[in-house]
Amino acid sequence: MADLKSCPFCGGEAEIWEDKVFCTYVPQCKECNAQRGRYINKENAIKAWNTRKPMEAVVAELEKRANDNDRAADRLSGIESKKKITSWRARAEALRDAAEIVRGKE
């Protein structure tokens, strides 16, 4: 069986937790409890935990989604309530904040 990489969020030790109720395996961090889905076998759980997008790809995806939210807010101007438009803008800002956090881990 392959070794688990350390947690991408806190650097903690990872483990595979066997959920006997749902008959699945859950890769998770022992420190911060970050998880990566449920899998029907340990091998798939390990592979999922150890497979990660490069940080640049994560940042690019966050920025793309932020821009999509801004475009949605622009399209809704004059059609929807100001509250709904503000909500789309807030989502865009939160995505940009997340991108900055990820950049800080590089």
> What is the predicted pLDDT for the residue at 100?
87
Q: What is the mean pLDDT of the chain?
A: 88
Same domain, 31 and 59: no
What is the signed CA dihedral for 76, 82, 84, 87, rounded to 10 degrees? 110
6-10, 26-30, 48-52, 91-95: least confident range: 6-10
Same domain, 38 and 70: no
In this structure, what token pair is assigned to residue 80? 């929807």
Quick check: is 83 in a domain?
A: yes
> What is the predicted pLDDT for the residue at 20?
92
Whole domain around residue 69: which residue ranges? 55-104
Same domain, 41 and 61: no
When pLDDT is cut at 50, 70 and 90, the band that residue 80 belongs to is: confident
When pLDDT is cut at 50, 70 and 90, the band that residue 105 belongs to is: low
Q: Report the sign of the C-alpha dihedral through residues 88, 89, 94, 99, in that order.
A: positive
Q: How far apart are CA 26 and CA 86, in angstroms?
A: 37
pLDDT digits (tens, 9 = 90+) for 20-66: 999 999 999 999 888 989 999 999 999 999 987 777 777 888 999 99
pLDDT at residue 104 is higher than 80 = no
The total number of structural domains in the chain stands at 2
Instruction: Report which of 81, 101, 1, 91 is spatially closest to residue 46, judged by C-alpha positions.
Output: 1
In this structure, what token pair is assigned to residue 51? 């497979």
> pTM score > 0.75 for this model?
no
Same domain, 43 and 76: no
For the chain, the residue count is 106
CA 1-105-54 angle, 5° bins = 55
Percent of the chain with pLDDT over 70: 95
